[in-house]
Every structure is written in structure tokens, then in C-alpha cells.
Amino acid sequence: MLTAVTAMARTNRTALWASIGAVLIVIMAFLAVGAVGPAVVVAVINASIRGMVPITLGAMSGIFSERSGIVNIGIEGMMLIAAFVGFMTNYALSLPGAPSVFQAEPIRMGLSILTGMLAGAVMGLLHAVLCIRFKVSHIISGTVINILALGLTGYLYMPGATTLGRLPPMIANPFSESAGILYWIGEIFLKKGFITYATFALVIIIAVVMFRTRWGLRTRAIGEHPRAADTLGINVYRMQYINLLFSGALAGLGGVFLTLEAVGQFERGMTNGRGFIALAVMIFGNWHPLYAAAGALLFGFATALQGQLQFFGINIPHQFVGMLPYLLTVIVLAGFVGRAQPPAHVGKPYEVE
């Protein structure tokens, strides 16, 4: 009982800090609109959202994995493989010889997203097999996945491969610039691709699944105390395998966002540490989907701000802004602000009796 209360107090403290951060960002935005005009502010907000999406999905991947007791530092590799496979599917379906049915945008893009997510899920399965069947240290298994992804995608990389195009914005902005505030709101909330909208929906769905369904309760139970869950008749390994498939698929969606929606091209090592940032965001958000998404927005905002500092007339070197999210994560992890409260049994192998 006492632990439950303190855990709640801790979560609420993180929530408190997250909301204080959000309020500060909004106040800064209003001040900035006065200083630099709406165009720059909206550009920063949109860049923040672009930066936020893959990190959010990576963090959701981490939540599925870690809530069921398995540390996942392979998110980076899962994202990278998926980014590559999604892009290559798009490339293959874009070739002149491909059946025209598959070349229609919804089917081509749908298949590309699916194969990418599938590739991520396969990596999740590999992680599960290594961690559960072979009891390999979760961190070593994750490292294997990261190196393997870097090697495989670099090895099979085809420079100059082109496609028929990337995911277009789903909704056009019906307002013209003369509509003022409505136009700028449209610029922020409309004109986004499918994966961006899907990400926001997924965050809410995952929050509900984790905290309001039987599946979520069981997942959290095996992350906290697998022996107890086992005794109550929950199949711990089966839950872990399935959660890691979800984990891989979600990281995969984050990966294909890069190649199918944001950039439209594959580059070697293009995930560029986002998987690790996602891990940090997950901890930052105390293993909760909503707080993690808020943390991802903060990271996206810090990245977006780096490129725009001079517009705001601020003269601190942009690298220091780039450092901030990482420093914040360390501060949160060290317990100076709130307290990171990981699932109790995360990272330890579990042996069914």
C-alpha cells in the first residue's frame, strides 16, 4: 500500500514537471510570436513534431518491452532495419516492371509500412529468443541487434535507389494566409502524413492498453513480479514474446517514418541515435506512454530549436541546446527531479519453475 502511494506520488511529480515544461514552452512560443512572427514559430513547432514522431514510437517500443521485463537497447537497430526494409519495398514496388496494382500510392505505401514493421517485429523476435530462450544479457542482445542492423543495412544499401514518392500530407490546409490564426493552426494540425497521426493515436491506445486492459495488467505484472504472475497462471514467456513482437513493430514504424514520410530516402546509419534517445525518453516519462510522448516532444523541440536559435536572437552555441535533453535525462535518472521508477524485474532473466 505504502509503495503504491509513493509510486503514485513519484509519477505525479514527473507529471508535474512535464506540465511545467509544457507551460514554459507555450509561454516561450507566445513571446516568440511577438518577437519573430508566426512563420518561424510554426516552423519550429512543425520541426518539433517531425523530430518527436520517431522518438515517440521508439519510446512506445521500449515501454512494451520493458513493462514486460525485458530491457531493450536494440530499438535503434530495429528502427534502422525497418527504415531500410520499408524503403526497399517502396523502391521495389516503384520499379517500372512492378504490377500496376501495387504502384497505386495507398497500396504501395501500405505494403512498405507493413514490411518495415514486420522487419522490426522480426528483430523483436530475435531479441526475445536471445533474452528468453538463451538467457543472454538483455543489453548484450540489444547491442547485437544494433550492430547487426548497421552491418546488414550498410551491406545491402543501394546508393541512388529512387521511389515513386513518399507519404503525402493527409489533409490539405483549407485556409489561406489571410485567415490569420486559423491558417497557422491549420499549418500545425493539418498537412501531416499518415504515420504522424497514427503515432498520436497509438500513444493514447497504448496508454489505455497498458493501464485499462487485462493484457496491460498482465504485462505490468510480469515486469514487476514474474513469479507472482506465473503462480497466478499467466504464461510469462508467451506474454514476453508477444510484447516483444509489438515492441519491434512499433520501433519499425518509427523507422519507416524516416524513410517513408520524413526523408523519403535511406541513408547509412540514418536513425542516428534516435533509438537511444527514445530509451531516454521512456525513462524520462517513467515508462508511461503519455509522459514519454511529452518527453519526446521536449526532445523534438530541443532539436528543432538548435537550427533556429539565431532567429530568436539568442547567442548561446546551438550545441549546448543540443546537450540539454541528454543532461535532463541524466538529471531525471539521478533522481534530482522526480524519480525514475523502472519495472521492478526489468533486465533479469526469469526461469519458469
Partner 1 sequence: MSESSVITDSPTNIGLVRGVLRSAAVPVLSVLTAMLIGALFIIVAGYDPLVAYRGLLNGAFGDAAGLTRTLIKMAPLVFSGLAVAFAFKGGLFNIGAQGQLLIGSVTSAWVGFALPVDLGNPVLSAVVHLTLALLAGLLGGALWGAIPGILKAYTGAHEVITTIMFNFIASNLIGWLLFAGAPGEGLPPGPLNDGNGVIARTPSILPTAYLPVVFDPPGPTALHLGVFLAVIAAVLVALLITRTTFGFELRMVGLNPTAARYSGIDVKRITILTMVIAGGLAGLAGAMQTLGVNYRYEPNQSLGLGFDAITVALLAGNNPLGVVLAAFLFGAMDAGSTRMQFQSNVPSEIILVVQALILMFVAADQIIRMIYRIRGEGGIGQMFGTGWGQR
Residue 102 or 224: which CB sits closer to partner 1? 224
The residue written with cell numbers 494566409 in the block is 177
326 binding partner 1? (CB under 8 A):
yes
Cβ(243)–Cβ(66) under 8 Å?
no
140 binding partner 1? (CB under 8 A):
yes
Residue 178 or 319: which CB sits closer to partner 1? 319
151 binding partner 1? (CB under 8 A):
yes
Site stretch for partner 1 (CB under 8 A), options 48-56, 128-136, 165-173, 258-266: 128-136
Q: Binding-site residue total for partner 1 (CB under 8 A)?
A: 54
Site stretch for partner 1 (CB under 8 A), options 11-19, 21-29, 288-296, 320-328: 320-328
Choosing from 27, 135, 176, 217, the residue that interacts with partner 1 (CB under 8 A) is 135
342 binding partner 1? (CB under 8 A):
yes
Least CB distance from residue 114 to partner 1, whole Å?
23
Least CB distance from residue 74 to partner 1, whole Å?
11
Distance CA 263, CA 167 (A): 10
Distance CA 249, CA 240 (A): 14
Distance CA 321, CA 304 (A): 10
DSSP H stretches of helix in the chain: 2-36, 38-67, 75-94, 100-103, 105-128, 138-156, 181-189, 194-212, 214-224, 226-231, 236-256, 274-284, 289-308, 318-333
Please, is 285 exposed, middle or buried when counting C-beta atoms within 10 Å of its C-beta (0-12, 13-18, 19+)? Answer: buried
Q: What is the footprint of partner 1 within residues 242-301 (CB under 8 A)?
A: 268, 273, 276-277, 279-280, 283
Q: Could you tell me the maximum CA-CA distance found in the chain, to the nearest angstrom?
A: 69
CB within 8 Å of 131: residues ≥ 6 apart: 70, 138, 141, 240, 349
Sign, CA dihedral 335-337-338-342, equals negative
Residues in contact with partner 1, shown as a per-residue x/- string from 65 to 104 under the rule CB under 8 A: ------x-x-------------------------------
Site stretch for partner 1 (CB under 8 A), options 47-55, 105-113, 144-152, 213-221: 144-152
Sign, CA dihedral 32-35-38-44, equals negative
Choosing from 141, 173, 240, 308, the residue that interacts with partner 1 (CB under 8 A) is 141
Site residues, partner 1 (CB under 8 A): 71, 73, 130, 134-141, 143-148, 150-157, 268, 273, 276-277, 279-280, 283, 310, 317, 319-320, 322-323, 326-327, 329-330, 333-336, 340, 342, 344-349
